Structure 1
Amino acid sequence: MSNDVNETLALLMNHRSIRAYKDTPVSQGQLASIVAAGQMASTSSNVQAYSVIAVTDPELKSKLAKLAGNQVYIEQCPVFLVWCADLYRLKKTSEPYLGDTSFEDSTENFIVATVDTTLAAQNAAVAAESLGLGIVYIGGIRNQIAEVSELLGLPELVYPLFGMCIGYPEQEPGLRPRLPMKAVLHMNGYSKEQSVEEAKAYDATTKQYLLERTNGQNDATWSQMMAKRLAEPTRMHMKDFLDSKGFMQQ
């Protein structure tokens, strides 16, 4: 890593997923600043194809926690954000100016909405951490995505991409080691050999990390964990759900 480290880089390099929160509330001012920072993320053609639902109601958080696989920290965090890829707004506001043909349901626009949402959410995550808050992304809201969508009243061309718990940390987990930079950074073209060999070297790092984290109970390597992930069908309902919401029709 470069020696050119500033306050922003230090913050980014210290990211940890937080799964335990204090009772201290997140203020409306903090929430507004976090979402405003998200809105300043890059967006394709200024489409801004996302919406975010801030869930603070305890009963609603409890229902979402169960739908997401009984992840109790959704209930414990002061604010749970549901980040949604949103082409509904684009379609409805454009309709008066459209002719007979439009492509809001194209695969490209699905990608645009998904990327826009992710960029905004990551900006918001960094903003939250800059305020002394912690976050964790919750992909589990896609476990029962139709039920989540119904619960939140999501219309056509809107889907919940992931959730995000926000609150003051009640824990200080260690940093999880990442792949070697050479596994992900390629100069002037993709190197297949470099990508694979550097990832294999990462196995020793992850094995040692897990041994220390679990007091010797787990020594799985990254490759073994990824093989297990690939061998298990995960959220195979997503294609049918997205089709039912009107995405990727063209």
Structure 2
Amino acid sequence: MNEVIETLLNHRSVRDFTDEKLTDEQIRTIVESAQRASTSSFIQAYSIIGVTDLQKKQQLSEIAGNQAYVVENGHFFVFCADFHRHELIGELHEEAVQKTLETDEKLLVAVIDAALASQNAAVAAESMGLGICYIGGIRNNLFAVKELLELPERVIPLFGMAVGVPAHVEVQKPRLPYNHIYHENTYDANPDRIKQSLTAYDDAIHEYYLVRGSNRRFDTWTGQMGRMLSKSIRLDVKDFLKAQGFLKQ
């Protein structure tokens, strides 16, 4: 096993950081590592916004459900799907690109590009001894985030990433069993096998929640997922996507 794999296998979300800020060199290294991620057809359909303004971070924290670590971290990044520059490319070369940029496929391309870049950034940060936490809560109010970050059309804020020096690191949270994730040649959809395996996984998650250092609780993974998925949230996402110039074809 090499150091890269050890870094990957040691990942856990960090939600408690010291007040030490990232250096310009660390920020550049993280962003340039993100840029080396694979990108569909070399399209590079994403942008990364570093948020250092305290008032903006506080507003993002409120949008994300008052998560303190959105404010209290070494640096806060917002990863965006971005076809704004590509629209300008159309103008530059007098090419009709609008219809293509409005398709579902190009939306997927931009989201995947941004996700791949963000994971490169996460691994880079963790390899430097930093901790990270993804923040999907910024999608609680996409229109407010657009205004706050002054995002042009064709740009979608997907998620944030808090990065910093860990002040506290939790016990690693167990993941789904290997055979739930990896299928060979065909998808194994046997419901009895899946439910039996999920019951065993629930036992592991139940034990994790009881022994971790903070926010201990009596819970299981299937119970948590059932409650979460039974609630409809962020119902304005489609409206926002259309307002930003997507999903029109």
Same fold (TM over 0.5): yes
* Structure 2 residue 127 is matched with structure 1 residue 130: yes
Q: Paired residue for 1:25, among 21, 39, 52?
A: 21
Matched residues in 2 for 1:85 and 1:58: separation?
A: 24
* Structure 2 residue 41 is matched with structure 1 residue 51: no
Q: For residues 93-104 of structure 1, what are the structure 2 equivalents within 5 Å?
A: 93-95=89-91, 96-99=93-96, 102-104=99-101
Q: How far does residue 208 in structure 1 lie from its aligned partner after superposition?
A: 1.5
Over 3 Å counting, the alpha-carbon distance change for 1:94 and 1:101 in structure 2 is closer
Q: Paired residue for 2:189, among 176, 181, 192?
A: 192
Matched residues in 2 for 1:19 and 1:51: separation?
A: 24
Matched residues in 1 for 2:119 and 2:34: separation?
A: 7
Matched residues in 1 for 2:241 and 2:202: separation?
A: 35
Gaps of 5+ in 2: none
Equivalent AA in structure 2 for residue 6 of structure 1: N
CA contact (8 A) 2:170 2:213 kept: no
Identity %: 43
Give the match for residue 230 of structure 2.
231
Matched residues in 2 for 1:245 and 1:92: separation?
A: 15
Matched residues in 1 for 2:27 and 2:9: separation?
A: 23
Over 3 Å counting, the alpha-carbon distance change for 1:230 and 1:248 in structure 2 is same
CA contact (8 A) 1:67 1:144 kept: yes
Q: Paired residue for 2:35, among 12, 24, 39?
A: 39
Give the match for residue 173 of structure 2.
176
Q: What TM-score comes out, normalization by structure 1 length? A: 0.93
Give the match for residue 114 of structure 2.
117
Give the match for residue 14 of structure 1.
10
Matched residues in 2 for 1:50 and 1:80: separation?
A: 16
Equivalent AA in structure 1 for residue 138 of structure 2: I
Greater shift in the superposed pair: 98-107 or 131-140: 98-107
CA contact (8 A) 1:183 1:196 kept: no
CA contact (8 A) 1:182 1:198 kept: no
CA contact (8 A) 2:31 2:121 kept: yes
Give the match for residue 105 of structure 2.
108
CA contact (8 A) 2:16 2:168 kept: yes
Over the residues paired in the alignment, what is the CA RMSD in angstroms?
1.7
Q: How far does residue 216 in structure 1 lie from its aligned partner after superposition?
A: 11
Equivalent AA in structure 2 for residue 35 of structure 1: V
Q: How far does residue 157 in structure 1 lie from its aligned partner after superposition?
A: 0.9
Over 3 Å counting, the alpha-carbon distance change for 1:232 and 1:99 in structure 2 is closer
